[in-house]
Chain A
Amino acid sequence: MELYALTIHELHDRLKAGEVTAGALARAVFDRIRAVEPEVHAYITLLEEPALAQADRADRAIRDGDLRALTGIPIALKDIFCTRGFRTTCGSRILENFIPPYDATVVERLAAAGAVFTGKTNMDEFAMGSSTETSYFGLTRNPWDLDRIPGGSSGGSAAAVAADACIAALGSDTGGSIRQPAALCGVVGLKPTYGRVSRYGLVAFASSLDQIGPFTKDVEDAAILMNVIAGYDPRESTSVPEDVPDYRAFLGRGIDGWTVGIPKEYFVAGLDPEVETAVRDAIGVIEGLGARCVEVSLPHTEHCLAVYYIVAPAEASSNLARYDGVRYGYRSPDGRDLMEMFKKSRSAGFGAEVKRRIMLGTYALSSGYYDAYYKKASQVRALIKNDFDAAFRTCDALVTPTTPTPAFRIGEKTDDPLQMYLSDILTISTNLAGIPGISVPCGYTAAGLPVGVQFQTAHFAEGKLFQIAAAYEKHANFTKRRPKL
């Protein structure tokens, strides 16, 4: 097997045994990137030169006996994480030339663990989208079918992992932006509990929902990355000072005697029959592992999408007010006074979807409409969270499909925002409730497109999430298949 196709834990063992060097690994990954990138376009910016220097340092560290969790492992970063000295665009023209003066906490933590950064991956502009088609830097193609989207907003990270154009990647998830592309690209994607991973240096979209997590080739790699990135950060006021267990310790424990809930509202009209079959098969595997699967109800599920598309745009309209052409980012040369400069810079710097959401959010927060929209949505959100709290009083975990359909065709939904929004319908509730969720490959359609199963657990129960995901993966064994590129 080629080096680039291996997992973090497999490569770690080889680096430790001296069977491979970090330099050879980095060169293998960049050769792979050169081979697949013309078709897939997973990256906005490649960082080959600094990566090779990091790989050299990794080899020296290994010789000195200092092999850390990620020493020499090539990892891709969604272009939403600030990287000191390397441009961070967030998929937007308005940040086309932005060079952050500091690193995001997750970048610092990965670097301290010895990681090698391959580059910055493509994404929907400001993480607003479900297909990576709203990027200012062109679209990314699904490695399983180049006529289809990879999902979004972290489509570049998902496609890079699926195409072996990195060993693992980080993304961010506001309404499904890690789990949805992971499902559509046939890789593992995890959204941790709100507050579990510091967002310092993450370009903000919707602050009550955003969370950072890993894309990996198997569940064990996701646990390895979580061991590195999770934990309290005094620079991030929503990060939670709660102990981080060793997530790898949960991997072999099994789920014998568990109660696993099947929320009936997630198996309704609009669910693709091939997706449903694959997920029902996964439920069969879970039962075979000794868990009792019971139907549960999350009665406010049908309102999740409406709540999300009020809360997220409202918060985004406030967060994106900072892009005014004054301190950083694009400035239009045509503004004769300050107000005109603001309007022309923002109108030329943002794409259509970002403007649509800023408009929606500004409207929902504007005088006279706040109670009808933002307050109402926040109240229904509380009811959605209560549904989950009730379910987790009797269930160890919940299992659902990650997406209603497999990857759709490029251009299929770009003219109908509401249809595009519906592709997140099964992932949004996780963010609204703040709980963790993971998508694991659970099969393929007749046309060969990947399908994902989503597991959810209670707040800060990532350990149990790894327990069920690893037990399922071991018996179903869908994570080994790779696209033909």
Chain B
Amino acid sequence: MKITRAEVEHVAHLARLEFDEAETEKFTSQLNDILLYMDKLNQVETRNVAPMTHAIARTNAFREDRVRESLPRERALANAPDPRGEFFRVPKVIE
């Protein structure tokens, strides 16, 4: 086993997802199959190989730091599920 049920439940929490019994079962088995396939990579010698993070080597893309027009507040709030005045409203955070 590459991944246990308990690990699937832990990863689901990290990913802010929740599953019922049947889904957890199915995901555990499918993720196991996929992770077993990934084991192939252990055949490749990678000592002294620098990990590649981007396809094109570029240094930081800086721009001039000046004030520019940004998205107006009404438009930024227009898609909010529960906007209140100038804010995004969410369920209670603190007890």
A interface residues with partner B (beta carbon < 8 Å): 97-99, 101-102, 193-195, 208-209, 234, 237-238, 240, 300, 302-303, 305-307, 309-310, 317, 321, 324-331, 335-344, 346-347, 350, 355-356, 358-360, 362-363, 366, 373, 375-383, 385, 417-418, 431-435, 459
Shortest beta-carbon contacts, A-B, top 5: A434-B55, A378-B51, A328-B79, A331-B81, A194-B55
**When the two chains form their complex, are residues A194 and B56 in contact, meaning their CB atoms are under 8 A apart?**
yes
Does B6 interact with chain A (Cβ within 8 Å)?
A: no
Distance in angstroms from A386 CB to nearest chain B CB is 9
**When the two chains form their complex, are residues B52 and A379 in contact, meaning their CB atoms are under 8 A apart?**
yes
**When the two chains form their complex, are residues A340 and B41 in contact, meaning their CB atoms are under 8 A apart?**
no
Cβ contacts under 8 Å, B82 to chain A: 331
**When the two chains form their complex, are residues B34 and A309 in contact, meaning their CB atoms are under 8 A apart?**
yes
Q: Which residue of B lies closest to A361 (CB)?
A: B15
Q: Quick one: which of A328, A342, A380, A431 contacts B44, CB cutoff 8 A? A: A380
Cβ contacts under 8 Å, B42 to chain A: 376
**When the two chains form their complex, are residues A338 and B92 in contact, meaning their CB atoms are under 8 A apart?**
yes
**When the two chains form their complex, are residues A378 and B14 in contact, meaning their CB atoms are under 8 A apart?**
no
Q: Quick one: which of B44, B75, B88 contacts A300, CB cutoff 8 A? A: B44
Q: Quick one: which of A195, A325, A382 contacts B51, CB cutoff 8 A? A: A382
B interface residues with partner A (beta carbon < 8 Å): 3, 7-8, 11-12, 14-19, 27, 30-31, 33-35, 37-38, 40-42, 44, 46, 49-56, 58, 61, 63, 71, 75-76, 78-82, 88, 90-93
**When the two chains form their complex, are residues B51 and A359 in contact, meaning their CB atoms are under 8 A apart?**
no
Cβ contacts under 8 Å, B49 to chain A: 379-380, 382-383
**When the two chains form their complex, are residues A359 and B44 in contact, meaning their CB atoms are under 8 A apart?**
no
Known pairs A310-B41, A358-B17. 12 more at Cβ < 8 A? A98-B79, A99-B78, A195-B55, A195-B58, A234-B63, A306-B38, A325-B81, A329-B79, A359-B11, A363-B11, A379-B44, A432-B55
Q: Which residue of B lies closest to A330 (CB)?
A: B81
Given known contacts A208-B54, A302-B40, A379 and B92 CB-to-CB distance under 8 angstroms: no
**When the two chains form their complex, are residues A366 and B14 in contact, meaning their CB atoms are under 8 A apart?**
yes
17 residue pairs of the A-B complex, CB under 8 angstroms, read A99-B78, A195-B58, A208-B53, A238-B56, A303-B41, A306-B37, A326-B90, A327-B88, A328-B79, A330-B81, A337-B91, A340-B91, A341-B90, A355-B27, A359-B31, A360-B31, A432-B55
Cβ contacts under 8 Å, B91 to chain A: 335-338, 340-341
**When the two chains form their complex, are residues B12 and A359 in contact, meaning their CB atoms are under 8 A apart?**
yes
**When the two chains form their complex, are residues A362 and B11 in contact, meaning their CB atoms are under 8 A apart?**
yes
Cα–Cα, bound, A421→B52 (Å): 22
Q: Which residue of A lies closest to B72 (CB)?
A: A101
Cα–Cα, bound, A447→B9 (Å): 46
Residue picked from B35, B44, B63, B78, most chain A C-beta under 10 Å: B44
Cβ contacts under 8 Å, B79 to chain A: 97-99, 101, 327-329
Distance in angstroms from B82 CB to nearest chain A CB is 7
